[in-house]
Chain A
Amino acid sequence: DAKTTQPNSMESNEEEPVHLPCNHSTISGTDYIHWYRQLPSQGPEYVIHGLTSNVNNRMASLAIAEDRKSSTLILHRATLRDAAVYYCILRSPSIAGTALIFGKGTTLSVSS
């Protein structure tokens, strides 16, 4: 899997939008961009994934750059419960079923 780069930490205030960046300059044409997050004392949970077009679901939005070398996970209104480590992971469909390769992720702190 190609490498991703994320900031170590970010801070946000409650009810404000949060934009979590991820750089993946060596992404291949078939790699999907996945985001997982890990709340304190819990296992990681899937957030969202996309290939080329921007994606929305109940948890977040994923904005993908036109050249696909970067992406941004958007939390529209951060809550205290969104404080977690967010991981950006590239996945090729050809290796479906194999392990996720996690980096250190971005630790998001949310203040009230």
Chain B
Amino acid sequence: EAGVVQSPRYKIIEKKQPVAFWCNPISGHNTLYWYLQNLGQGPELLIRYENEEAVDDSQLPKDRFSAERLKGVDSTLKIQPAELGDSAVYLCASSPAGSSYNEQFFGPGTRLTVL
């Protein structure tokens, strides 16, 4: 079974440029998460989807970040414009519905460097 797929794995951009990350969750997983991981820290949630609905986006900086999951499958996270402080790893995870202990499956992440 294929795991969570993310692309690109690495991205280098100049500040003020836009950037987008793509995630394809494990087939059949209804819940999709985007996490941000700064160097030396644990991941922190940016947004959570249940199917195509964003059910928790309280930590998403909405002035520059946006996300979508139009058909309830794959998802895109966008930053426009990027700032130096956005340099981090962006992780996507998915989880099946109805799991009482809610194991989450993570992709390898996209490492963003903003110059």
Partner of B91, one of A34, A43, A85, A91: A43
Provide the bound-state CA to CA distance between A44 and B97, in Å.
20
| A88 shortest CB reach to chain B, Å | 11
B53 close to chain A: CB less than 8 A: no
Prevailing SS type, chain A contact patch: loop
* 0/1 string, B33-60, CB within 8 A of A gives 1: 1010000111111001010000010000
- A-B pair number, CB within 8 angstroms: 63
> On chain B, which size bracket covers the interface?
20 to 34
Q: Determine whether the beta carbon of B42 is less than 8 Å from that of A104.
A: yes
State which residues 8-52 of B face A: CB under 8 Å: 31, 33, 35, 40-45, 48, 50
Known contacts: A41-B108, A45-B106, A105-B42. The answer to whether A96 contacts B100 by CB under 8 A is yes
Q: Contact residues of B with A, CB < 8 Å? A: 4, 31, 33, 35, 40-45, 48, 50, 56, 91-93, 95, 97, 99-109
Q: Contact residues of A with B, CB < 8 Å? A: 32, 34, 41-46, 49, 85, 87, 91, 93, 96-100, 102-105
